[in-house]
Amino acid sequence: MNAPALRVLHIITGLGQGGAESVLFRLATYPGMDVEHIVVSLTDEGIYGERLRAAGVAVHALAMKRGRVSLAGFRTLRGLIAQTRPDAVQTWMYHADLIGGLAARLAGVKAIAWGIRNSGAHLERSSRSARLVLRACALLSGSVPRAIVCAAQNAARRHAEKGYRRDRLVVIPNGYDLSRYAPDPLARTRVRAQWGLSEDVPVIGCVARWDPLKDHANLLRAVAALVRDGRDAGLRCVLIGRDMTEGNAELGALLDKLDLRDRVVLNGPSDDVPAMMNGLDLHVLSSCAEGFPNVVAEAMACGVYCVVTDVGDAAYIVGDTGVVVPPEQAEALARGIETALGDVAARGRARAGEAGRARVLENFDLARMAQSYIAVWRRISGVQA
């Protein structure tokens, strides 16, 4: 068997449920590209480690504590890179960009591509370590990476304004597997039963971890306003993602304050996002900052109508197939949800979601994304097909 034309080592903070992690998984398992992928998680294997390994991708987890760098872990990473001898190293997110980029350079690899998944907006709400790492990355952006891949045009512009080298920035929109993210009536029936909700109940939802930038408070205030004014049409709201559980005291206090306990279903994280999407009539992105929000395109691919705040590339993703409202304005979001639910009720769920799926199929093709990444890796490494 001939050796693959290109060997790429990926370094990512972790492999749990998240947008960057899902993009890496889709990229590393995309067939027919003649690329050997090796994945290194700075922390643990999360939900994607086993899946990657099952697809034939080598996975290494360094067991570093999240947000902290251990000297032993850094040495292990450097040694692994030197031993693997990749043609290119692709890092994902700020901490991995910094740690992985430096380790790769010390291991003798110069073909390094960073991966920015943050919009660059509202960084004051991010952790202190994330802000410090971003500043360090900006200073090193002209010397460590040969390319810096952003998923969104807005993210590239904002990071250039924050000091990243403009001539290294490349925009590659995310791509999606339309065979996996697709309308699925059986999954819809199954998850509705799991939530204890009948088919005739309007269900809105949000797939996002508990994080200030996701602004769940904005969504819940919008729902509370709809209920208060009798504009809710009997809706229920399902929250899906890390810390969307009864154990989240801050979330629980907010639900109690807004008197929404009987309106909100806390699903917690799920490793079957397509099924979760199919259970919804409407997906709502309530964030105050985003880069290229995967969940919006994933919902659209499943034929789910979307309401989004105008952050990152969210408005670009939905185009004219959904509703766009200003961020951090609960009443505007409430009106958007009300309008969207009315549209879904009038046209029917399937008809209302058709245009969104067609837009994802036309603009966010997985093959195009994979080919674009490979073109970057070939350019920075000098390895030709």
193 Cβ partners below 8 Å, 6+ apart? Answer: none
pLDDT of 72 above 60: yes
Give the tokens for residue 78: 């450097």
Name the pLDDT band for 69 (thresholds 50, 70, 90): confident
β-pairing verdict for 282-285 and 203-207: parallel
- pLDDT of the residue at 4: 64
| Segment 290-315 mean pLDDT | 94
Report which of 227, 175, 167, 206 is spatially closest to residue 299, judged by C-alpha positions: 206
| Segment 147-168 mean pLDDT | 93
Cβ atoms 290, 119 nearer than 8 A? yes
Work out the number of other CB atoms within 10 angstroms of the CB of residue 313. 24
**Kind and range of the H or E run holding 11:** strand 6-12
Question: What fold is seen in the domain 6-175+365-381?
Answer: Rossmann fold (3.40.50)
| Segment 331-360 mean pLDDT | 97
pLDDT of 271 above 90: no
Q: What is the pTM of this model?
A: 0.79
Q: Which of 16-25, 73-82, 324-333 has the lowest mean pLDDT?
A: 16-25
CA 362/CA 245 separation, integer angstroms: 36
| Segment 356-381 mean pLDDT | 95
pLDDT tens track for 180-230 = 999 999 999 999 999 999 999 999 999 999 999 999 999 999 999 999 999
End-to-end Cα spacing for the chain: 17
| Segment 227-243 mean pLDDT | 97
Question: What fold is seen in the domain 185-363?
Answer: Rossmann fold (3.40.50)
Average pLDDT over the chain reads 94
* CATH 3.40.50.2000 domain extents, the chain: 6-175+365-381, 185-363
CA 289/CA 308 separation, integer angstroms: 11
pLDDT of 1 above 50: no
